[in-house]
Structure 1
């Protein structure tokens, strides 16, 4: 029998520790932090829909709103640390594999590594904002326009921007399909939930997933249009993408529905923090 491919006892112990209570705590803290951001963005977008929004409906606006609350600085530091936990969890899944039968496949590990890099950047911006150094204060719209402009200045930049836009659209469709198929059931400890709780979690998972899918797809369309017209200013960040829904024939009611979906996704993230298998 070939034994060289089998993990050594020491490696198994390291893996158990890495996937143990520390990583579990980091994952649940990260999911909670993600929920807070989506919840705040949804509330800000709802205020815009009803004509009472003065802040950007994106991460920068959410951080500013949180900072204005009592003990805002403490809340911001807690949020940044929670997002660090999200990055640690994703790194552990990239190294050791995720739960589930296909959790150790290369595509899952690569996705976890990309997610880790993303949350490192998000956590850094939140911690810089909490420290008062200005990080995270730029709107998503300004960041998107600057990134698109720099990309278009590169050789074959328009093609790269167009491909990125198509990728964002595809990601939006994938998110929507996963939500409609309720694939998150595979990640939840559904046996520990009452029937009523399972129903409520489905409402938040489905509604939140569809809203995020719609925003991703529309944002991707704006990126593709910017590439076709060679106009980086056509790119829209989260705030402008959300506001664009109010410019449709459905008016602010469509924006309100999408904003409510972001609130639902925030609540869904809280449910994942409680019942997700880690």
Structure 2
């Protein structure tokens, strides 16, 4: 005869839970530093520039601190943990997304996220080991644009990628502002004040992150339309684009603060979010 305990879900394997929490913490560190450096670039504080506010610039900043190689190595390990956790979410369907088109689409996004952060972990590890870490975010997008443009119907292919990047940014903004996001945080069952802070941090953070994605997608679209891969770029190029626009310092400063909030939101997720594992 079944007992009540047989219907209680087993806790997730500790190693998977640790991977998720370490990964979320490392992601939070990176986004907080990206936001801080972007804010410094916006108002020319401490000689900061938009170029130094990209992911590679953040890794270089960490590397230049006392015990920088060890710190950057720890960040690389954390990002690798995050990538592995995203693969587990995608391949094992730990979020119960299902096998229909919508569920498979979400699981593919988890896997894609794992690939992106796995590449960042590789870049950070290379820099920590003194291998130069060539091929940062902006350079990798230029390379991707160049490879696409060399294919038959290359401009169309690059345009499709650009639209996908812009759509990702728009979805980030939609998700942050939606009731769906708010309900997902509320399901955790936190105290009211912590819950409100988490909702606020995530909402602002998703909007800021979405803006950066949209700008990156716009630059990739320009690369497609002009058949010039050098028009594509990563987050540092997006920061430079914002900085050069009307009221650029204030616009970049606002986005930078939002990215810091997103980093804090990652810390809160690491502390409070239940980790689902089958």
TM-score (norm 1): 0.86
State the Cα distance separating 1:132 from its structure 2 match. Answer: 1.1
2:110 equivalent in structure 1: 112
8 Å CA contact 1:187, 1:277 repeated in 2: no
Unaligned runs of 5+ in 2: 1-8
Structure-1 residue corresponding to 2:72: 76
Spell out, residue by residue over 1:115-171, the C-alpha distance to the aligned partner (whole angstroms, 9 max, x if none): 222222221111111111122x54433332232122211221111111100111111
Question: In the alignment, is the contact (CA less than 8 A) between 1:219 and 1:241 conserved in 2?
Answer: yes
Determine if the alignment matches structure 1 residue 50 to structure 2 residue 47. Answer: no
Following superposition of structure 1 onto structure 2, how do residues 192-211 of structure 1 map, counting pairs within 5 Å? 192-211=189-208
1: CA distance, partners of 2:22 / 2:179: 23
Match for 1:123 among 121, 124, 136? 121
Alpha-carbon distance in 1 for matches of 2:87, 2:268 = 22
Kindly indicate whether residue 14 of structure 2 is the aligned counterpart of residue 21 of structure 1.
Answer: yes
1:197-276 to 2 correspondence within 5 Å? 197-276=194-273
1:154 aligns with 2:151: yes
Q: Is the 8 A contact 1:90 1:113 kept in 2?
A: yes
**How many residues are matched?**
262
| In structure 2, distance between residues paired with 1:106 and 1:233 | 33
Within the candidate set 169, 172, 179, 1:172 is matched to 169
Supply the distance in 2 between the matched residues of 1:110 and 1:191 (Cα, whole angstroms): 24
Structure 2 Cα separation of the partners of residues 51 and 202 of structure 1 = 31
Name the TM-score, length of structure 2 as normaliser.
0.86
Unaligned runs of 5+ in 1: 1-14
Would the aligned equivalents of 1:97 and 1:108 in 2 still touch at CA under 8 Å? no
Retained in 2: the 8 A contact 1:190–1:198? no
C-alpha contact 2:169 2:213 (8 A) present in aligned 1: yes
- Cα RMSD over matched residues? 2.2
Which stretches of structure 1, 4 residues or more, deviate above 6 A after TM superposition? none
Report SS of the residue matched to 1:214. Answer: helix
Superposed displacement of residue 221, structure 1: 1.2
